Amino acid sequence: MKENIKPYKIHFKIGSLEWLTFFGISIALIANGLISGFFYLKDMNSFKATDFLIVSVSTLLIGISTYLLQLKRLNFKSFELTQKLEDFKENARTILTENNWRIENDNQNFIVASSQGKLFSSDMLILRFKKKEIQWNLIQHPWSHNSGAAILNLNKKGKKILEKIKAIA
């Protein structure tokens, strides 16, 4: 996961398993729209041509809009840090482990932790450290193989733990 964390957002390499999981439904909708468009162009004189055109345009628009929404969710948000960075890191680690979160990566620049939830539902929290601020992102873990949950972005466990972490900042 370390190679996916860029300065201002999380970046999944196009075609990777993480990318396919995170953007899976959006990609399927775009592909469906393109295929429907092909059938429209193939049978433009058919009485069902307008149906293919409606399906094609609507699924393309929904697919593109959900893809753009998912891209926006990968950007980091931030909050101000009012204590020493080392104290914050230690307190954040304590909160995460006390609440049964698995710390997947922990170094000088960031902490990546995931909730130990159900098989196809797991939140992933990334805390990226700056001098006077903490950048964070909370998404559906890409290895949970659930692109539906990635679009819905419920992350109930993650939102609760994030509020606890923000309280100590």
Q: Name the percent of the chain lying above pLDDT 70.
A: 96
Supply the pLDDT for residue 118: 66
| pLDDT at residue 97 in the model | 95
- Nearest to 139, CA basis, from 4, 22, 20, 2: 22
What is the spatial distance between Cα 151 and Cα 89, in angstroms, rounded to a whole number?
30
Helices (H), 74-169: 85-98, 147-152, 156-168
The string of DSSP letters for 20-79 reads HHHTHHHHHHHHHHHHHHHHHHHTTTSTTHHHHHHHHHHHHHHHHHHHHHHHHHTB-EEE
- Partnered with residue 103 across adjacent β-strands are 113
What angle separates helix 24-42 from helix 49-73, to the nearest 10 degrees?
160
What value does the mean pLDDT of the chain take? 90
pLDDT digits (tens, 9 = 90+) for 18-58: 999 899 999 999 999 999 888 888 888 877 788 888 989 99
Q: Where is pLDDT greater, at 3 or 162?
A: 162
pLDDT in tens, 72-82: 999 999 999 99
148 or 104, greater pLDDT: 104
What the block records as the tokens of 7 is: 């300065």
34 CA to centre of own chain: 25
Residue 120 has pLDDT above 80, yes or no: no
Residue 2 has pLDDT above 80, yes or no: no
Per-residue confidence at 150, pLDDT binned at 50, 70, 90?
confident
